[in-house]
Amino acid sequence: MIDVGTILGLVLLVCALLAIAQRRLAAGDDAFVKAIASELPQTQCAQCGYPGCRPYAEALVGGAAIDLCPPGGEATVQKLAELLPHNPRASAGLATSPAMVARIDEARCIGCYLCIEACPVDAIVGAPKYMHTVLRDACTGCELCLPPCPVDCIVMERP
């Protein structure tokens, strides 16, 4: 008969192994998240329902649907399907739109700072009560600056 001590010993051993394995796998996960994030377009637009591209990459490792990224479009879905063959698709097709950048109509800007707070990639420069402007090269076209603007002075246009 196996005594209680042996069982306890085995349980402890398995727990220790699991703890080590988890730490190892977590390190691997981090690299995997990075690999997935590098396939995402980094617009940080949150259209996927997660607050940025890295958070979506983390959710993808946890099994989220692979077709939630409109800026990435079908090309990104293909790449993600290769990396994550077991993740589901949420719908049949994914609508994509052409790349746009934001522009602030500087004459109408009141310097409220709300768009600067909203921009996920620090692409808007300015200070409270001073005119703001969008750095076109840095803008990812996420449109997150549009809703907070109280005077609707931000327009999206082709780069």
Partner 1 sequence: MIARYLRPMQSRWCVEPGDVVRCGALLGSGRVRTHAAFTGTVASIDDERLELDVAGTEQIPSLDPLDVHSSRATVLERIEHAGIVGLGGGGFPTHLKLAEALRRGVDKLVINAVECEPGVHCDAALCEQFEPEIVQGIEALQHLLDAEVHITQGAATCPSRQAWQTHTLNADTPAGAERQLCRSIFGITLAADERPVHHGIVVVNVGTAHAIARALQGWPLISRMVTVAGENRWLAIGTPISSLLEGSSFRVGGRLSGQTVGGDAPIGKTTNAVEPAPASRNAQPCINCAACDVICPEDLPVAQLARLPRGNVEAAQRLAADRCIECGLCTPVCPSHIDVLTILRQHRHDVRHATTQRQAAAAAGNRFEAREQRRAVQSALREARRQERLQRRQRNG
Comparing CB distances to partner 1, the nearer of 142 and 149 is: 142
Specify the 3-state DSSP secondary structure of 157: strand
- Tell me how far, at minimum, the Cβ of 5 lies from partner 1, in Å: 47
Binding status of residue 41 toward partner 1 by CB under 8 A: yes
Helix (H), strand (E) at residue 124: strand 124-125
For partner 1, what does the binding mask look like between residues 55 and 94, x meaning CB under 8 A?
----------------------------------------
Cβ burial, residue 134 (10 Å; 0-12/13-18/19+) = buried
Near partner 1 by CB under 8 A: residue from 12, 78, 105, 136: 136
Task: Provide CB contacts within 8 A for 94, sequence distance 6+.
Answer: 67, 69, 70, 73, 74, 77
Specify the 3-state DSSP secondary structure of 52: coil
For partner 1, what does the binding mask look like between residues 87 and 126, x meaning CB under 8 A?
----------------x----------------xxxx---
Structure tokens at 157: 């246009």
Q: Which residues bind partner 1 (CB under 8 A)?
A: 37-38, 40-44, 52-54, 103, 120-123, 136-138, 140, 157-159
